[in-house]
Amino acid sequence: MTEMGRRERKKAATRQALADAALRLFLERGYDAVGVRDVAEAADVSVTTLFKHFPDGKEALVFDEDTDREAALVAAVRDRPVGQTVPQALRGLLHEERSRQVRADPGFPDFLHLIDTTPPLREYGRRMWLRHENALAAAIGTDAGLPADDPGCQALAHFALDAVALVHGRPDAETALDRIFALLDNGWSGMTSPGGAGGWER
């Protein structure tokens, strides 16, 4: 499974060296005070090589691959216990992820602080996170027996993901998340269960 030849191993190594050097330098001197040239030199590669490994640019140096977060999102919707609504399941997943982040390796708080205090990194992280919107919307649509491009599913997915950005930096982030998901849960249950699914008089 993980049988990588020397080639792929070296490739992964340089990529890791770049990511490590970048994170270290960013933490030491601050994101803006470090140029891509500095990072490349610290990793002992050329600038072009850096961009070969991180075509999305400087911000991408900080974020490792996602892979399983999207799977976790759709699984949370698909495999939720009976009687639990979709928003409730998503709220639960976010809660778990949050408590998992508190632990993790040391230096992780510094990492989070760097992102929180650096607008380009915040923005990039948000975009990465929102990239799962379509997959989540599809999962929700399947679950509710709605077309994959239903605006309601799309909106619920988008709002649920965006909620974490919305409560960012709050001291009462957890209860704020609760309140936002209460709004989504109310709205969603009203759209799926009873009377008109889409009808709405203004």
Give residues in contact with DNA (CB under 7 A): 5-8, 10-11, 14, 34-37, 44-49, 51-53, 55, 57-59
Comparing CB distances to a copy of itself, the nearer of 26 and 88 is 88
- DSSP, residue by residue, 61-118: GGPPP-SHHHHHHHHHHHTPPTT--HHHHHHHHHHHHHHHHHSSSTTHHHHHHHHHT-
Alpha carbons within 13 angstroms on the beta-carbon side of residue 166 total 15
CA dihedral 78, 73, 155, 201 (to 10 degrees): 30
- Nearest to 161, CA basis, from 191, 187, 126, 192: 126
The answer to the question of residue 154 lying near a copy of itself (CB under 8 A) is: yes
Comparing CB distances to a copy of itself, the nearer of 26 and 188 is 188
- 45: partner contacted, choices a copy of itself, DNA, none (Cβ within 5-8 A by kind): DNA
- 35: partner contacted, choices DNA, a copy of itself, none (Cβ within 5-8 A by kind): DNA
- 186: partner contacted, choices DNA, a copy of itself, none (Cβ within 5-8 A by kind): a copy of itself
- Residue 29 in tokens: 């001197």
- 5: partner contacted, choices DNA, a copy of itself, none (Cβ within 5-8 A by kind): DNA
Report the C-alpha gap between 131 and 164 in whole angstroms: 14
Comparing CB distances to a copy of itself, the nearer of 15 and 141 is 141
Residues that bind a copy of itself (CB under 8 A): 88, 91-92, 95, 150-152, 154-156, 158-159, 162-163, 166-167, 170, 172, 175-191, 198-200, 202
